[in-house]
Structures are given as C-alpha cells and as structure tokens.
Amino acid sequence: MTDEALLAYYATPGVLTYVRGFEAQLGDMADDVASVVRVVQGLLIHEGLTGVYGVTLPTERIVEKQIVGARALLAQAARLDSRPITEARAPERRVVGVCRHFATLFVAIMRSKGVPARARCGFAGYFAAGKHLDHWVGEYWHAAERRWVLVDAQIDEAQRGFFRIDLDTLDVPRDRFLVGGDAWRACRAGADPMSFGVAGTPMWGLVEVYGDLFQDLAALQKIELLPWGWYGLATDESGMQEHALIDRLAELSSRADAGAIAALRRAIADDPRLGVPDETVAAALAADQATTTA
C-alpha cells in the first residue's frame, strides 16, 4: 500500500460511517475541523456527563448509546429535533452516546468531505491525574502539515471547565492520548497497568489495554465498534500471553502508516482470530435499524 492509497482509503466511508440522506446538509456546512467538532457536539450528549449540562434523561433514552452507524446517529438526531442537523440541539434533545460516538461521527463527517480520517481507541491522560482513562478520539490527515492530528470531539467548553482540560483538543498531543498500541507498549516497558482503565468501573489493568488494542485495530480497518464490542482474540485473555503476536499488533497500531495497515491486513488474512467477524458488523447494522425505527 502506498501513502496515497492509504489517504484515499481513509477519505471514504466505511460500513459504519456512511451518511446517506444527509449529504446535502453536511455539504452546506463549513468544512474546517472546529466547525465539524461543533456540529458533533451539538448532536450528541455523553451518557455519563448529562449532569454537566443540568440534564436528566429518561431511562428509555439510554438505549441510544447502542447505536453504531453514523447514519443511524444522524437519523436519530433528526427524529429528536427536525431542524437541520447542522444546528445545535438543546442538551436534552441530543442523541445519547459515549466517547466512541463523538469520535465516529467526527470521522464520518470528515470523510463525507473527502478528508482522510479515522477513529482511534486508547487512553486519555487528561481527565484524572495519574490515570489513563479508556477513551476514543478522531484523527485526520492535516494535508498542509503532512501529519495525522488527534481531535477530541467530545470536549466542549462545559467539559473543558468540568475536567480542567489544559490542552488543545483539536490537536491532542500524542503523549496525552495513547492509542491502543502505545498503551500496550507503555505497559510492556514498565508503566503500571492498573493506571489504565474505565472511569467509574472496576475494569482496570492490562486486560483493558489488551481490549482497546483490538478496538483500535478494528477502527484502523474502518470498523468502529462500540467500546464493549470486543471480538476474536480480544475475548480470550490467554491471548495476552502470545507476546510476540500482541507486541507486533501493538507496533502496527502505533505506526498506523501505509506499511502498518498492509501488514495488519496480511496478519488478519493469516489468523482469523484477529479480524472482526462479518456477523458482528451485520448484527450492529440490524440493531441500528431496529433502534431508529422503533
């Protein structure tokens, strides 16, 4: 795979990032990164941060966090508020999601504009001192600077104040957000695995890093699974003992360049445990259809 082919690959939608039916509205909006982020933030609300906005949502709305595809997210946003999707909703009329939804919708909109973009799963070091919290961000190709840029599309001004965020969320430093491969390699190099985990849960330790590595590898294949959608070898904790294999996969996640993506494809072809099963994606899309037509 060439560098040009890599960028062309990420400039087109994957099965979960199509925006069919909303192309015209998205085409009319400004296409700078800050504008895209504002649109995403005006459509979504994080299920665990409703209190930041003074909102209490009815329990039946929480099921929205199970929506997987970008088109389904946009369709639900339109159901909740019939105004153009580029107009920010009141917090109580935003679609309920988690960090993965913000990252995926950001990526979907960027791709709809022909900008190479991808979701990244890993750990943020800017929410709690000394902790690396399970998180998703977007990443886009900055053509002028010839580099991939991390973007945290979830953090708006309210959350910036709440979490006391001290960085540029439109250009997150690589040492403040560790993609899955970087987190695994950090732990293998001596970082405390128990500093990596999911906020507000007992899910901490190397197994969480292991799972996020596979989520990141899926996202690099343009399959942006829900955070709890582990698959294949990720569901087998004994796989963590296959050090040579997992270290190699982590290196591919960290690099994520044309050579790494080509190598990832070869690895999946050789070992079916590493790929996302077709039925997993099919089930997600079927669930989307049921959720947005209920």
- Could you report the average pLDDT of every consecutive run of 10 residues in the chain (294 residues)? 94 95 91 95 96 93 94 96 95 97 98 97 96 98 97 97 96 98 97 95 96 97 94 94 96 97 97 93 84 60
What is the pLDDT at residue 292?
61
Give residue limits of the domains in the chain: 3-293
pLDDT score recorded for residue 142:
97
Cα separation, 30 vs 34, in Å, equals 9
pLDDT at 291: 66
Q: What is the pLDDT of residue 293?
A: 58
Residue 294 has a pLDDT of 53
Q: CA–CA separation, 224 vs 253, rounded Å?
A: 14
The model carries a pTM of: 0.96
| pLDDT at residue number 1 | 81
* Long-range contacts of residues 196-200, Cβ cutoff 8 Å, at least 24 apart: 196/123, 196/132, 196/134, 197/131, 197/132, 197/133, 197/134, 198/133, 198/134, 199/48, 199/127, 199/128, 199/131, 199/133, 199/134, 200/48
